[in-house]
Chains A and B, each alone.
Chain A
Amino acid sequence: MRDLAFVGFLAGLLALGIRRPFLFVLAYIYVDTVSPQRLSYFLLNSIPLSLIIALLAMGGWAIADRKDQLSFSLRQGLLLVLLAYAGMTTLYADFPVDALEKWDWAWKTVVFAIFLPFTLRTKLRIEAVLLFLTLSAASIIIVGGIKTALGGGGYGVLNLMVDNNSGLYESSTISTVAIALIPIILWLTLFGTIFKPDWRVKAFAGGLIFACLLMPIGTEARTGLVCIALLGVLMLRDVKRRFLFMAGAGLLGLAAIPFLPHSFSNRMETIQGFQADESAGTRLAVWAWTWDYAQAHPFGGGFGAYRSNHIQVQTVNTQSNGDVQVVTTATQADEARAYHSAYFEMLGEQGFPGLFLFLLINAIGLVRMEMIRRRYRRREGDEAWIAPLATALQHFQLIYMTGELFVGIAYQSFGWLAFATAIGFDAWLARRERAERKAGAGFAPQAAVPV
């Protein structure tokens, strides 16, 4: 039954796409995020759905979209270099078969991130992409939120509809994405035009944000808690009454503690006492191994290079028994442990050049959004939405990049789709400023070149 519903939904979306081909781009975002083929038992799981819709999106754009004023930004160029470089590292990878397996999906992610900004020619398209990213992720987040609220959470226990632990269905990844999405949800609630802000939109957004905040609790992913803390700090930048916000957030946090499951509190305490925690110890050991590996292989070992690691993790557990402190140490051996960090993933797989490109692309994105944010801060009327969108996209990126410290999601497509939307938004604004200047309105005081 669910299979038929998915087929009906996709058929409907694609049929509408025949009328407005941009909807194929939205369909791709949906398929890439929700992976309906993984949720179905027949029909969809037997066809290369993602590939078919990507071709429709690109074909639709090639045939039916306007190409005038098309610009190719520096970030898209850098992504292209990263793609070519990652392809090269795949050729001489330490584990050629495994490397090819990752390359097979990673290149599509990067190619679509390069392509997406070309299609974002209007403000409405930017909004539509953000809405589809949000609603697609919401289909997983709402499930997680309700199950957590009903007491079905737990580390590795929360059932997010599929058994396999990949894509957005991985607990740390969905926790990071859920928290990073909150600024975008807030922007859609204030400035959305597809669903105009009314009580229904606000009620849905409120419920969704609550579900987003429940994700780190339900999955017991410590990464999510770090992301929530950063979100709180970032929100301080724009709130009018900072002390009131801090006091409110503090009170809310304290009030929430008694309602948190005991297993969650225990797991979060391991952030401080990480020496006693094997998972954190393994992470540190893998990072140390990767750093040493990069010294010997500065150009990276290709996708899946972590498979050659052999690590030893020493855990130190201190327990007080009256006046006596009992310290127990244990050493555990492990091998082929994944990076658990996008930055070390880049360093190990694409070496220093890959990590440099990755950081550069992200840094340019952050700086550009900050420039837009400042330039349009005091604009009103038709332009009132611009600075808040730059802020929302920048906050998404900052929270996502923080999550990436602890999760190996360097090639996770959801993040790249959001970054690509920021590139498209930047290019759209540059086009608009050029047009305004040409019209002699004196609208843009600074040079506008998409970067």
Chain B
Amino acid sequence: MIDNFALGLTHCLMLLAAWRLLSRPDLGDDDAPPGPRRTWFRKDA
């Protein structure tokens, strides 16, 4: 019960963090203008 609670909480947060990173252009470029990017396996140029 405790194990599953801790694992569930932290894993959900990690997945949420990964999801949020998808829509962050500054993941690949500090100076990128804000806004969503849609391409898959794109070059982080």
Give the B-binding residues of A (Cβ under 8 A): 2, 5, 9, 12-13, 16, 18-23, 26, 30, 39, 63-66, 121-125, 128, 131-132, 135-136, 138-140, 142-143, 146-147, 150, 161, 194-195, 204, 432
Write out the residue numbers on chain A whose beta carbons fall within 8 Å of the beta carbon of B14: 9, 13, 26, 30, 132, 135-136
Q: Give Cα A16–Cα B26 distance, bound, in whole angstroms.
A: 16
Q: Give Cα A338–Cα B43 distance, bound, in whole angstroms.
A: 47
Let me know if B17 and A122 touch, CB within 8 A: no
Let me know if A16 and B41 touch, CB within 8 A: no
Q: Give Cα A125–Cα B24 distance, bound, in whole angstroms.
A: 10
Write out the residue numbers on chain A whose beta carbons fall within 8 Å of the beta carbon of B15: 9, 12-13
Q: Give Cα A2–Cα B21 distance, bound, in whole angstroms.
A: 26
Q: What is the size, in residues, of chain B's interface with A at 8 Å between Cβ atoms?
A: 32
Cβ-closest 5 pairs across A and B: A142-B6, A139-B10, A143-B6, A122-B30, A124-B26
Let me know if A65 and B44 touch, CB within 8 A: yes
Let me know if B2 and A143 touch, CB within 8 A: yes
Q: Which of A125, A132, A135, A194 contacts B20 (CB 8 A)?
A: A194
Q: Give Cα A64–Cα B42 distance, bound, in whole angstroms.
A: 7
Closest to A428 in B: B30
Task: Tell me how far the C-beta of A29 lies from the nearest C-beta in chain B, rounded to whole angstroms.
Answer: 10
Given contacts A13-B18, A19-B40, contact A139 B27 (CB under 8 A): no
Let me know if B44 and A64 touch, CB within 8 A: yes
Write out the residue numbers on chain A whose beta carbons fall within 8 Å of the beta carbon of B30: 122-124, 432
Let me know if A66 and B44 touch, CB within 8 A: yes
Task: Tell me how far the C-beta of B39 lies from the nearest C-beta in chain A, rounded to whole angstroms.
Answer: 8
Does B35 touch A at the CB level, under 8 Å?
no
Write out the residue numbers on chain A whose beta carbons fall within 8 Å of the beta carbon of B3: 143, 161
Question: Which residues in window 8-31 of B have CB below 8 A to A?
Answer: 8-11, 13-15, 17-22, 24, 26-30
Write out the residue numbers on chain A whose beta carbons fall within 8 Å of the beta carbon of B29: 122
Let me know if A23 and B18 touch, CB within 8 A: yes
- Pick 16 A–B contacts, CB within 8 A, sort by A: A5-B8, A12-B18, A16-B21, A19-B41, A20-B21, A20-B28, A26-B14, A65-B43, A66-B43, A121-B28, A122-B28, A122-B29, A128-B17, A138-B10, A194-B17, A204-B13
Q: Give Cα A121–Cα B19 distance, bound, in whole angstroms.
A: 19
Task: Tell me how far the C-beta of B1 lies from the nearest C-beta in chain A, rounded to whole angstroms.
Answer: 10
Let me know if B11 and A195 touch, CB within 8 A: no
Let me know if A64 and B2 touch, CB within 8 A: no
A sample of 8 more A-B contacts (CB under 8 A), given A22-B44, A132-B14, A136-B10, is A5-B8, A12-B18, A66-B28, A124-B26, A125-B27, A143-B2, A143-B7, A195-B17
Task: Tell me how far the C-beta of B20 lies from the nearest C-beta in chain A, rounded to whole angstroms.
Answer: 6
Let me know if A128 and B41 touch, CB within 8 A: no
Q: Give Cα A128–Cα B44 distance, bound, in whole angstroms.
A: 16
Closest to A17 in B: B18
Given contacts A122-B27, A124-B21, contact A146 B10 (CB under 8 A): no
Q: Give Cα A313–Cα B4 distance, bound, in whole angstroms.
A: 42
Closest to B16 in A: A195
Task: Tell me how far the C-beta of B42 lies from the nearest C-beta in chain A, rounded to whole angstroms.
Answer: 7
Closest to A160 in B: B3
Write out the residue numbers on chain A whose beta carbons fall within 8 Å of the beta carbon of B19: 16
Write out the residue numbers on chain B whose beta carbons fall within 8 Å of the beta carbon of A5: 7-8, 11
Task: Tell me how far the C-beta of B19 lies from the nearest C-beta in chain A, rounded to whole angstroms.
Answer: 7
Let me know if A124 and B24 touch, CB within 8 A: yes
